[in-house]
């Protein structure tokens, strides 16, 4: 029934959510039968535009939203049959900052630990506050904390019961670069200690940089789920950037390849790595009388993958 250390941290099968409509809004199918497996030990990104269904998915895991259909296991625990254990296996940092402002960070963590039944002797309140650089604010009132500090406190609260899985829902939306870095330092530290990390974001760059596996969710459907590198490689498209020795007036004719002359004088030449070698392009350039001063290749990035997937769907 349960596993001490499952291979799959979170699994969803046929997960559907329909928000009931009312006189103001029609019913909304936010998740349309999502199948997803999040491997233990990964930093998993759930990527998608606003309204894709990311928070709905997270909130179902956290027990805050009731699913319409489907089966969900968290750390091997079924969220219907073993709700308490499932919930104890997760720490969730919600998208919205909603916190009781009348407590101090120390009190807030103690209350949270109490809710999860962590005995006093096993609480790590100051250690957690220190890790999130909130130790000097331990006894300040929450309402005196900056927005960034509040967000760090939410992460601290999510970790009081030392869950094996930490879920962050858009943790860096509206957060400045310095704080973002601090937050990731801590998250990566937890990951190094074995915590499985799930993060939702609509920042492609962030997902590409941090996540080793990514699911792209679009209008309630998972349209891709792969290791990050594979996802990007799957596009089979790269661009060769060439700086000619002598400035060109127009892009040269390269036969099977199409060059574009950029305003900075460089040539941009897209190609498919599975079909063409850079050497072939260089031969074509030489044949066209273009002497090369410098060259580099540009990989496609997640943005391209994302556009292609959503475009393919729409089209």
221 or 280, CB closer to ligand ADP? 221
Mask for 14-53, x = binds Mg ion (CB under 5 A):
----------------------------------------
Residues within the interface to ligand ADP (CB under 6 A): 19, 28, 30, 48, 50-56
Q: Pick the closest to residue 221 from 130, 315, 309, 124 (CA basis).
A: 309
Q: Going residue by residue from 67 to 106, which x/- string records binding to Mg ion, judged by CB under 5 A?
A: ----------------------------x-----------
Q: Kindly tell me the burial class for residue 123, based on how many C-beta atoms sit within 10 Å of its own C-beta (0-12, 13-18, 19 or more).
A: middle
Cβ nearer to ligand ADP, comparing 56 with 172: 56
The smaller minimum CB distance to ligand ADP, of residues 52 and 195, is found at 52
- Contact status: 201 vs Mg ion (CB under 5 A): no
Q: Which does 19 bind (CB under 5 to 8 A by kind): Mg ion, ligand ADP, none?
A: ligand ADP
Planar angle of CA 263, 265, 268, nearest 5 degrees: 85
DSSP code per residue over 256-292: TB--EE-TTS-EEEEE-TTT--HHHHHHHHHHTTPPE
DSSP states of 100-125 as a string? -TTS-HHHHHHHHHHHTT--GGG--H
What, of Mg ion, ligand ADP, none, does residue 50 touch, CB below 5 to 8 Å by kind?
A: ligand ADP
Chain centroid to Cα 167, Å, comes to 10
Does position 55 bind Mg ion by CB under 5 A? yes
Residue 302 to residue 78: CA distance in whole angstroms: 33
Residue 310 binds which entry of ligand ADP, Mg ion, none, CB below 5-8 Å type-dependent:
none
In the numeric block, which tokens belong to residue 300? 């496609």
CA torsion, ordered 243, 246, 248, 249, to nearest 10 deg: 150
Considering beta carbons, is residue 27 or 101 the nearer one to ligand ADP?
A: 27
Query: Closest approach of Cβ 156 to ligand ADP, in Å?
Result: 23
CB of 18 to ligand ADP, least distance (A): 9
Q: How many residues bind Mg ion (CB under 5 A)?
A: 3
Nearest approach in angstroms of CB 74 to ligand ADP is: 18
3-state secondary structure of 26: coil
| Least distance between ligand ADP and beta carbon 38 (Å) | 16
The count of other CB atoms within 10 Å of the CB of residue 289 is 10
Binding residues for Mg ion restricted to 241-270, rule: CB under 5 A: none
Toward ligand ADP, which CB reaches closer, 31 or 129? 31
Q: Among candidates 268, 271, 267, which has minimal Cα distance to 257?
A: 271
Using only the alpha carbons of the chain, give its radius of gyration.
24
**Residues 191, 179: Cα–Cα separation, whole Å:** 18
State the minimum distance, in angstroms, from the CB of residue 238 to ligand ADP: 30
Which of ligand ADP, Mg ion, none is residue 48 near (CB under 5 to 8 Å by kind)? ligand ADP
Q: At its nearest, how many Å lie between Mg ion and the CB of residue 48?
A: 9
- Minimum distance from residue 198 beta carbon to Mg ion (Å): 13
Phi, psi dihedral angles at 14 (to 5 degrees): 55, 35
Give whichever of 55 and 89 is closer to Mg ion, judged by the CB atom. Answer: 55
Are 35 and 85 in contact by the 8 Å Cβ rule? The answer is no
DSSP letter at 216 equals E
Least separation in angstroms between CB 50 and ligand ADP? 4
Q: List contacts with Mg ion (CB under 5 A).
A: 54-55, 95
């Amino acid at each position: 029934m349960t596993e001490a250390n499952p291979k799959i941290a979170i699994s969803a099968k046929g997960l559907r959510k329909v928000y009931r409509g009312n006189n103001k809004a029609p019913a909304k199918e936010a998740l349309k039968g999502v199948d997803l497996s999040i491997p233990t030990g990964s930093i998993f990104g759930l990527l998608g535009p606003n309204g894709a269904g990311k928070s709905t998915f997270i909130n179902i895991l956290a027990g805050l939203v009731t699913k319409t259909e489907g089966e969900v296991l968290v750390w091997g625990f079924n969220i219907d049959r073993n709700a308490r254990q499932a919930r104890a296996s997760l720490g969730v940092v919600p998208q919205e900052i909603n916190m009781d402002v009348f407590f101090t960070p120390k009190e807030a963590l103690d209350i949270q630990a109490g809710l999860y039944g962590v005995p006093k002797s096993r609480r790590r309140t100051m250690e957690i506050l220190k890790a999130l650089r909130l130790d000097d604010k331990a006894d300040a009132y929450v309402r005196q904390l900056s927005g960034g500090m509040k967000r760090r406190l939410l992460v601290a609260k999510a970790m009081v019961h030392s869950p094996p899985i930490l879920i962050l829902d858009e943790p860096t939306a509206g957060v400045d670069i310095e704080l973002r870095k601090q937050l990731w330092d801590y998250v990566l530290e937890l990951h190094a200690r074995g915590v499985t990390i799930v993060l939702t974001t609509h920042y492609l760059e962030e997902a590409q940089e941090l996540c080793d596996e990514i699911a792209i969710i679009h209008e309630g459907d998972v349209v891709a789920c792969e290791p990050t590198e594979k996802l990007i490689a799957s596009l089979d498209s790269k661009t060769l950037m060439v700086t000619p020795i002598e400035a060109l007036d127009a892009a040269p004719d390269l036969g099977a390849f199409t060059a574009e002359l950029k305003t900075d004088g460089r040539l941009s030449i897209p190609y498919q790595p599975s079909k063409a070698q850079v050497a072939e392009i260089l031969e074509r350039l030489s044949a066209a009388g273009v002497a090369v001063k410098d060259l580099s290749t540009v990989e496609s990035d997640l943005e391209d993958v994302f556009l292609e997937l959503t475009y393919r769907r729409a089209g």
